[in-house]
Structure 1
Amino acid sequence: MHHAFKLGDAEHNVALSRSATAYRLHLGGQTLDVDLKTGADGRAWLTVGDRHVEVVIATRGDEVFVHLDGEAYALRYQHPLDRLAAAAAGNAEDRILAPMPGSVVSVAVKAGEAVTKGQVLLVMESMKMETTITAPRDGVIAEIAYEKGQTFDRDALLLSLEPMEKSA
């Protein structure tokens, strides 16, 4: 079965199939055995190919938050019809939404400031993990909805962008 996942700014098209003992992840020309098990002590272990590591995983709807090797990752499944609708609208990246509930640790930009794709916009904290929110594209900050210390829910509008030409 084919799926699209968004990890940070990168979208990954993958396929999953079953093997006798686990799943197989088909990514590009590679096929990797993958398995996720929870031990009796409640700890989770992820096996990808020959690598076996402890992970902390939290889910909410189509989002999976993974803490692995000292790094936090937000992974979001996107239904193919939703992807097509966002592409047709052309402004899906204008609204930067909270990937999970949390609070603002720091804001690195100001309204009216030009930003480039990948530039740090703000840092948020959720479940004692910090997540850096970066610009999904070049643009100008139209609005910053939250200040340092304020809390928000999942999918809350954190910042919005407008095209560069509007600011000239």
Structure 2
Amino acid sequence: MHHAFQIADREINVALSRARTGYRLHLGERIVPVDLRTGADGRAWLTLGDAHIEVVVATRGDDVFVHLDGEAHHLRYRHPLDRLAAAAAGHAEDQIRAPMPGSIVSVAVAPGDAVTQGQVLLVMESMKMETTITAPRDGVIATVNYQPGQTFDRDALLLSLEPMETCA
């Protein structure tokens, strides 16, 4: 499962997958075995590869506070749909990307169609949940890259927009 965390002014993208014992943390091309366990005495231990580190973790909503190796860290979880909405704002982002892996349920537009902000472009399904993707602004559909039934990975280019004025 893919996740993003805001740490200071940087966004860190990670993926977590199950392993035989614990999990695997995917950081770009690096894969690190990871596990978090609480001992009988209530202390928590984080295992990263071969290192075992005592850690204190507290959460409040999307905020995660981690204290390890004498340092405190504040992380903020970024929900995939919130990230998609932020990325689609304004004319600079003409590419509509998948917020998570899934499949296309329906496509409501075709290349050349004029769309208005908020108009339904497509419906996708991920983890048995349907998500409606709408136009972030007025424009003309340049490309539609997936059709109903096709699957895609997170961050796949679903479709792209052109400004109205370039399509006169």
Q: TM-score, normalised by structure 1?
A: 0.51
Whole-Å separation in 2 of the counterparts to 1:62 and 1:163: 32
C-alpha contact (below 8 Å) 1:111/1:143 kept by paired residues: yes
- One-letter amino acid matched to 2:148: K
Matched with 1:108 is 108
How far residue 63 of structure 1 moved from its aligned partner, in angstroms, is 3.9
Matched with 2:118 is 118
How far residue 76 of structure 1 moved from its aligned partner, in angstroms, is 2.6
Larger Cα-atom Rg: 2
Matched with 2:4 is none
CA RMSD of aligned residues (A): 3.6
Match of 2:147, SS state, is: coil
CA change 1:77–1:101 in 2 (3 A) is closer
- One-letter amino acid matched to 1:164: M
Within a 5 Å distance, the mapping from 1:4-153 to structure 2 comes to 35-36=60-61, 63-64=78-79, 74-76=81-83, 91-153=91-153
How far residue 167 of structure 1 moved from its aligned partner, in angstroms, is 1.4
How many residues are matched? Answer: 100
Whole-Å separation in 2 of the counterparts to 1:92 and 1:104: 25
Match of 2:166, SS state, is: helix
Whole-Å separation in 1 of the counterparts to 2:77 and 2:143: 26
C-alpha contact (below 8 Å) 2:122/2:132 kept by paired residues: yes
C-alpha contact (below 8 Å) 2:84/2:98 kept by paired residues: no
**Do residues 166 (structure 1) and 166 (structure 2) align?**
yes
Q: TM-score, normalised by structure 2?
A: 0.51
**Identity percentage of aligned residues:** 68
Match of 1:93, SS state, is: coil
- One-letter amino acid matched to 1:114: A
Whole-Å separation in 2 of the counterparts to 1:127 and 1:64: 15
* Superimposed CA distance per residue, residues 30-88 of structure 1 (whole angstroms, 9 cap, x where no aligned partner): xxxx945xxxxxxxxxxxxxxxxxxxxxxxx96426xxxxxxxx22399xxx98xx99x
- Structure 1 residues not aligned, in runs of 5+: 4-33, 37-60, 66-73
- Structure 2 residues not aligned, in runs of 5+: 1-6, 10-58, 62-75
